[in-house]
A and B are shown apart, each in its own frame.
Chain A
């Protein structure tokens, strides 16, 4: 029962490099999300996808792009990494509807030097 799987778990990038964070869920959820977690700021929504084929910006989308490849997978891409993107990134999924909570992945700790 894997739930939400994120890869990689850790990554160090140099400023200007690009990378893609991968997320997959096996619960047949329609909605998927990318958050970043920074000390003292809680979780901030980067992008989300309410269903396959749709994506929407969240609170802090600048510097990121996303792809909802299929119902299972939702990737987050940093085209040109900056030190301000050093953070812990969490992917989550849920059933459609306000009464459902999220299932979170275990996170990706990204450091940009």
Chain B
């Protein structure tokens, strides 16, 4: 069965510092991996995805994520955090040729001035 784990409920970082939001997954075969962001009282917005190819994928708002097959991880990163990055972040996984995304429980990112 597919599953996603986001081990941190909250990540706190100072503005200007690098940030990492962790995600590990379990899926049979090759995974399709996604990151979404949710701002207060809004729907989820797509940030980036890994399908195949380079392990480092770049997405919206300066975010990037690194796919690590041996560690079954897909951590979200940004070199320099902004206060406006404060939001709820969701990792999701899909198995090849399935219709459904499985979401993690979410990580709240708080960036302090």
From A33, A42, A99, A106, contact of B51 by CB (8 A)? A99
B105 in contact with A40 (CB, 8 Å)? yes
Give the bracket for the number of chain A residues in contact with chain B. Answer: 20 to 34
From B43, B94, B98, B103, contact of A42 by CB (8 A)? B103
Q: Please indicate which of the listed interface residues A40, A58, A96, A97 has the most CB atoms of chain B within 10 Å of its own CB.
A: A97
User: Which residues in B have some Cβ–Cβ distance to A below 8 Å?
Assistant: 9, 32, 34, 36, 41-46, 49, 51, 90, 92, 94-101, 103-106
Number of A-B contacts defined by CB within 8 Å: 56
From B9, B97, B103, B104, contact of A98 by CB (8 A)? B97
A31 in contact with B99 (CB, 8 Å)? yes
- Knowing A40-B105, A42-B104, the reply to whether A99 touches B44 (Cβ < 8 A) is no
- Knowing A50-B99, A96-B99, the reply to whether A101 touches B104 (Cβ < 8 A) is no
A106 in contact with B42 (CB, 8 Å)? yes
Pairs A-B, 4 closest by C-beta atoms = A42-B105, A104-B43, A43-B103, A106-B43
B45 in contact with A99 (CB, 8 Å)? no
Q: What is the CA–CA distance of A102 and B96 in the complex, to the nearest angstrom?
A: 15
